[in-house]
Amino acid sequence: MTELSELKFYATQPHPCSYLPEQQATTLFLDPSLPMSAELYAALSERGFRRSGDHLYRPHCQHCQACVAARIPAAQFRANRSQRRILQRNRDLQVQAALPIFSEEYYHLYARYIDSRHADGDMYPPSPEQFHSFLVRNLDFLRFYEFRLQGELLALAVTDVLPNGLSAVYTFFDPDQAARSLGRFAILWQIEECRRLGLEALYLGYWIKNCRKMNYKSEYRPLQLLIRQQWLQAN
């Protein structure tokens, strides 16, 4: 593997932040000409990088440090009463790994989810091209985990399986199944999958203290945040 000190990175021009409207964001990308191996990805995930499509990136904002990389150490996690109820409520679901491809079934669920939950965001309106460019890749470590009830697809967790943990890339689910708390269940299932695979942590992307959409991440204890290049327990 290439030594991290030898890697090239590129920063974007400042652009409007997707999470904090009053802020300008800058993103640092790994040189996209480099092959994306699971080992390199894992090493960079320890330093706060995340994958989107073909790119490994992290926030690199000059005047704001609100986005903090977050992970759940799988072995230390203990479900609280609410989370145990969610696990019990979804015991009837079957979970299986599938190829990371485009399908009409996947896209139909994705479009319903975006229309219902994110009509105010930059992913609206959904399109097949957007689904493909955002989620579908020919990567050895990428998995689509299907959550089904008697054959019906209720949720899909797009997940990267790395040597140091699972990285939760994106999860979408049936918006009519709110009582199941499928987004939270997918996180709980991925924590258990980390344990089954003997992996250290579930990487959740970024946590922002003053962002309502990020509040759910602090429900998982312990939550570790990357502060000054050290993973520290936050709760």
Check residue 1 and give its pLDDT: 56
DSSP 19: S
Nearest to 172 by CA among 108, 84, 92: 108
Sequence spans of domains, the chain: 4-69, 71-226
Q: What is the mean pLDDT of residues 18-36?
A: 93
pLDDT at 18: 86
Q: Is the pTM of this model over 0.85?
A: yes
Give the tens place of pLDDT for each residue, 8-17. Answer: 999 999 999 9
pLDDT digits (tens, 9 = 90+) for 144-173: 999 999 999 999 999 999 999 999 999 999
Q: What CA–CA distances, in Å, run from 153 to 98, 105, 199?
A: 12, 8, 27
Report pLDDT digits (tens) over 50-95: 999 999 999 999 989 999 999 999 999 999 999 999 999 999 999 9
DSSP 92-125: T-EEEEE-----HHHHHHHHHHHHHH-TTSTTPS
Judge whether 135 and 157 are in contact, CB under 8 Å.
no
Report the CATH superfamily, name and number, of domain 71-226: Gcn5-related N-acetyltransferase (GNAT) (3.40.630.30)
Dihedral of the alpha carbons of 10, 207, 72, 182, in degrees to the nearest 10:
-110
